[in-house]
């Protein structure tokens, strides 16, 4: 057997065994329906067939044909790894704030927020920096970035002096962002910190009330005690929120 064929066969066999193992695991994985359990067998069947074809052509003395067919799973594995690497890099970039901010100062702050590095944030503040930075290339403030991607870092930023009343590039406040993402407890916190619930965004029509009124909320959400606390708090401020019809289950 030509030396170039052996590593191809080994890789093909490993790919087949991996897909077979995943298919076997999927049969007992929670949340998999019958269709999903059946579909995962497609991959071990395909790769097993390719491996069998490679071995067949090797046995009848056609090693070049065997190698050509055997390269197909190898190329597939390379493409999957490349795609997975890109997805991982994109996830890291988004989590670190690099996907949200372009200016170096804002990126440095976002990176510290992502890591929960309060010491780095304090050093930036001690050097005359501020947490209330604007980035003309971004739709986010540092606080809204934390709210969306690292909500457990919001108390840290507030304790260090981040201004919750600072609007983003679209003129929306972090209170509006909290309401738009079902973070009712955070919305109540921002109300307590003095964020204006009557603030109007740059488009001249978006307010906290319109965000709540246009959201399609489920009956479960409408019955959520924290959501009800928020609407009651707004009512005491003279802001009436028309409850949307519950979304179908």
HEC letters along the chain: CCCCHHHHHHHHHHHHHHHHHHHHHHCCCCCCCHHHHHHCCHHHHHHHHHHHHHHHHHHCCCHHHHHHHHHHHHHHHHHHHHHHHHHHHHHHHHHHCCCCCCCHHHHHHHHHHHHCCHHHHHHHHHCCCCCCCCCCCCCCCHHHHHHHHCHHHHHHHHHCCCCCCCCCCCCCCHHHHHHHCCCHHHHHHHHHCCCCCCCCCCCCCCCHHHHHHHCCCEHHHHCCHHHHHHHHHHHHCCCCCCCCCCECC
- Mean pLDDT for 165-169 is 87
- Token code pair at residue 121: 């944030």
The percent of residues in the chain predicted with pLDDT above 70, rounded, is: 83
pLDDT for res 21? 83
pLDDT for res 188? 93
Q: With cut-offs at 50, 70 and 90, classify the pLDDT of residue 84.
A: low
Q: Who contacts 134 (Cβ-Cβ below 8 Å, separation ≥6)? A: 141, 169
pLDDT for res 106? 82
pLDDT for res 141? 87
Q: With cut-offs at 50, 70 and 90, classify the pLDDT of residue 190.
A: very high
* Residue 242 main-chain phi, psi, to 5 deg: -75, 120
pLDDT for res 135? 55
- Mean pLDDT for 82-87 is 59
Name the range with the highest mean pLDDT among 16-20, 107-111, 230-234: 230-234
Name the range with the highest mean pLDDT among 56-60, 106-110, 215-219, 227-231: 227-231
For residue 228, pLDDT over 70 is answered with yes
For residue 207, pLDDT over 80 is answered with yes
Number of Cβ within a 10 Å radius of residue 5: 17
State pLDDT tens for residues 121-161.
999 888 888 888 665 566 788 898 899 888 899 999 999 99
**CA pseudo-torsion sign 133, 137, 143, 149:** negative
CA 164, distance to chain mean position in Å, is 23
For residue 50, pLDDT over 80 is answered with yes
CA distances in angstroms from 22 to 15, 16, 115, listed in the order given? 11, 10, 33
| Integer Cα distance of 12 and 58 in angstroms | 14
| Integer Cα distance of 114 and 107 in angstroms | 10
For residue 7, pLDDT over 70 is answered with yes
Specify the higher pLDDT residue, 159 or 12.
159
Average pLDDT, the chain: 81
pLDDT for res 55? 87
């Amino acid at each position: 057997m030509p030396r170039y064929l052996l590593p191809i066969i080994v890789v093909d066999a490993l790919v087949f065994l991996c897909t077979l193992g995943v298919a076997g695991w999927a049969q007992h994985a929670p949340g998999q329906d019958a269709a999903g359990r059946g579909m995962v067998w497609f991959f071990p069947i395909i790769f097993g067939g390719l491996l069998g074809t490679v071995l067949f052509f090797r046995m009848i003395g056609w090693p070049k044909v065997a190698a050509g067919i055997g390269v197909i799973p190898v190329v597939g594995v390379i493409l999957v790894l490349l795609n997975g690497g890109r997805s991982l890099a994109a996830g890291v970039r988004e989590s670190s704030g690099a996907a949200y901010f372009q200016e170096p100062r804002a990126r440095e702050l976002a990176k510290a927020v992502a890591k929960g590095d309060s010491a780095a944030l304090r050093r930036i503040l001690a050097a005359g920096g501020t947490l209330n930075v604007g980035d003309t290339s971004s739709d986010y403030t540092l606080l809204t970035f934390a709210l969306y991607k690292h909500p457990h870092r919001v108390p840290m930023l507030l304790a260090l002096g981040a201004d919750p009343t600072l609007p983003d590039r679209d003129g929306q406040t972090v209170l509006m962002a909290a309401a738009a993402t079902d973070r009712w407890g955070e919305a109540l916190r921002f109300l307590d910190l003095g964020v204006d619930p009557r603030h109007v965004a740059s488009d001249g029509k978006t307010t906290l009330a319109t965000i709540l009124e246009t959201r399609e909320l489920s009956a479960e959400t409408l019955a959520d005690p924290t959501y009800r606390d928020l609407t009651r708090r707004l009512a005491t401020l003279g802001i009436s929120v028309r409850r949307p019809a519950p979304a179908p289950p």
